[in-house]
Amino acid sequence: MAILRVLLLDSRKTLQEIGNEVGLSPTSCWTRIKKLEASGVIKRYTVDVDPAKLGYHDSVIVQVTLESHTDETLYDFGRTLATIPEIQEAYLVSGDYDYYIRIAVRDTRDYERLLREKLYKIPGIRHSKSHFVLRVLKEATVPLI
């Protein structure tokens, strides 16, 4: 887990730097990292981009209820969501709504455009409810840090 903590904070660190932080040799670090990759614990390496620096200053959480809950409807809805670049995360959930979706937008007008041009064109949406994020209090990928 110590190696994962280091990689989550900065995956560009050298094996020497990682080894110094976790008390292992670079070779031991390399071997453990390769095992984490092979077992699927480490799925990929990526870059953490600040959406605001690209003009996406707002984030919206949208709760969606569908008209139908057939396997085909759920599959088609999920597949369509995956084609919309502004959608950052989408979850099929239990409870009063079927989906929680997090969307990056430039501003309220951009969100209104996205609703009209993309989200509301998806067939089968019965009801939706939107919440603009005022402040991010915590953001993490896994509970390691």
Mean pLDDT, the chain, rounded, equals: 94
Mean pLDDT of 14-42: 97
Q: Answer yes or no: is pLDDT of 72 > 80.
A: yes
pLDDT for residue 83: 96
User: What architecture is domain 49-131?
Assistant: 2-Layer Sandwich (3.30)
Mean pLDDT of 7-20: 95
Q: CATH 3.30.70.920: which residues of the chain?
A: 49-131
Cα–Cα distance for residue pair 105/112, rounded to 1 Å: 9
pTM, two decimals, is 0.84
Q: Answer yes or no: is pLDDT of 145 > 80.
A: no
Burial track 29-62 (b if 16+ CB lie within 10 A, e otherwise): beebbeeeeeeeebeeeeeeeeeeeeebebbbeb
Q: CATH 1.10.10.10: which residues of the chain?
A: 1-47
Using CA atoms in the order 42, 45, 48, 54, what is the torsion angle rounded to 10 degrees? -140
User: Across-strand partners of 129?
Assistant: 63
Residue keyed to tokens 């599959």? 75
Asked if 22 and 2 count as a contact pair (C-beta separation under 8 A), the reply is yes
Nearest to 7 by CA among 26, 31, 34, 33: 33
Give the pLDDT band (50/70/90) at residue 2.
very high
User: What architecture is domain 1-47?
Assistant: Orthogonal Bundle (1.10)
